[in-house]
Amino acid sequence: MGARHARNIGAYVPNARLAAVMDMDAGRSAEVAASAGALMFGDAEELIRSDAVDAVVIASPDPTHASLALACLAQGKPALVEKPLATEIADAIAIVERESAGGRRLLQVGLMRRYDPDHVAIAEAVRSGVVGRPVLFRGWHRNLPDAHPPTSRQVLVGAAVHDFDSVRWLLGQEVVEIHVRGVSIDPLRTDQWDLQIVTLTMDGGALAVVEVNKDSGFGYEVGVEITGSSGMISTPPLDSPVIRRDGELRQRVHSDWLGRFEEAYIREIQRWTAGILEGRPDGPSAWDGLQALAVALAGAASVERGSPVRLEPSPRPVLYA
């Protein structure tokens, strides 16, 4: 993901340049740095403190996001933090409190579906009232299997946070209850669910059902369907052409998220840099990252208990109004 952000900055963002990179893999870091004429650092916090760096993209392993985001806040530097904002709720709360105390939005969370043209079209249609009052969200999020299969909790925190943000954003409502059921597709992993069906109850009365499949076996696919009081709207089917041959209909499926959301990633980093220069950040905030994580962790509790879990709404800080 870091390499893709680096590429996009160089190719599609005229108002910024890649100034420095850091990666635990020194060879990979040197390759990216050389291609952009950037500095190379061996320590992430040293890079964040450097006077050569005005803003930071955090695309490191999930458990490091919180500490690096806090380091950026300490330096007063804007950062695009890949999801999840944190892996523990206390860390996410600390980030929101620190940013709120500073009185200025510096962080944006990489919930890039908000920049995907298909999802933006759904959002605009729902806001216009074309389908009436939204009452049901259906979402699907299917991946090829990982080399290191995730735990049930990692499916929720590392993948489903995208879906939970989509639900909040597209419905304009907050989650008040979550129930997670699942199965293990891999018979050797009977104690962990790589296929989960998540049911959400929203504070505005709507329901949401999300399928998250981390072992689809066929490719990468994400989509949304929203039922309203007077109609229904959904993202279009696969964007590849339909081939009719040998008695079959065939369509290509994306192999990963980089292909499916290529345009979203470009728009995301373009809008992020523009927001910094304009002094008007408008992307998914640390508050959005906290809310998505809270839902994911409540989902993990639902897996452990085998029953629905209620979420207690927390007041939105003034900074994120």
pLDDT tens-place string over residues 173-228: 999 999 999 999 987 777 899 999 999 999 999 999 999 999 999 999 999 999 99
Confidence class for position 296, pLDDT limits 50, 70, 90: very high
- How far is CA 225 from each of CA 45, 125, 132, 139, 182, rounded to the nearest angstrom? 42, 12, 14, 6, 21
The mean pLDDT value for 81-92 works out to 98
Averaged pLDDT, 63-69:
98
**Nearest Cα to 82, choosing from 96, 99, 68, 93?**
68
Tell me the one-letter amino acid at 163.
D
Residue carrying structure tokens 């999930």: 62
User: Given a cut of 90, is residue 3 above it in pLDDT?
Assistant: yes
Note the pLDDT of residue 149: 86
Tokens 């005229």, located at residue: 14
Q: Is the peptide bond before 150 cis (omega within 30 degrees of 0)?
A: no
What pLDDT does 223 receive? 96
Following DSSP, what letter does each residue of 206-273 receive, concatenated? -EEEEEEES--SS-BEEEEEEEETTEEEE--S-SSPPEEETTEEE---BSSHHHHTHHHHHHHHHHHH
Residue 94 CA: distances (Å) to CA of 66, 97, 108, 249, 321? 9, 5, 15, 52, 18
* pLDDT on residue 240: 83
Determine the pLDDT at residue 287: 98
Q: Could you count the other beta carbons within 10 Å of the beta carbon of residue 12?
A: 14
Q: Do the Cβ atoms of 110 and 258 come closer than 8 Å?
A: no
pLDDT the model gives residue 313 = 84
pLDDT per residue as tens digits for the range 105-142: 999 999 999 999 999 999 999 999 999 999 999 999 99
- Read off the pLDDT of each residue in 291-298 and give the average, rounded to a whole number: 98
Cα separation, 188 vs 67, in Å, equals: 35
User: What residue ranges of the chain are covered by domains with CATH 3.30.360.10?
Assistant: 113-257+287-320
- pLDDT the model gives residue 26: 92
3-state secondary structure 29-51: HHHHHHHHCCEEECCHHHHHHCC
pLDDT at 305 over 80: yes
CATH fold, domain 113-257+287-320, is Dihydrodipicolinate Reductase; domain 2 (3.30.360)
pLDDT tops 90 at residue 239: no
pLDDT mean over 230-242: 90
Distances, alpha carbon 105 to alpha carbons 8, 58, 143, 246, in Å: 23, 16, 33, 56
Class of domain 2-112+266-286: alpha beta
Mean pLDDT computed over 86-101: 98
Which helix (H) or strand (E) segment is 2 a member of? helix 2-12
The mean-pLDDT minimum among 20-29, 51-60, 144-153 falls in 144-153
pLDDT number for residue 241:
86
pLDDT for the residue numbered 85? 98
What percent of the chain stands above pLDDT 70? 100
Q: What is the mean pLDDT of residues 229-252?
A: 91
Burial of 209 (C-beta count, 10 Å sphere; 0-12/13-18/19+): middle
Positions of CATH 3.40.50.720 in the chain: 2-112+266-286
* Rounded Cα–Cα distance for residues 124 and 269 (Å): 21
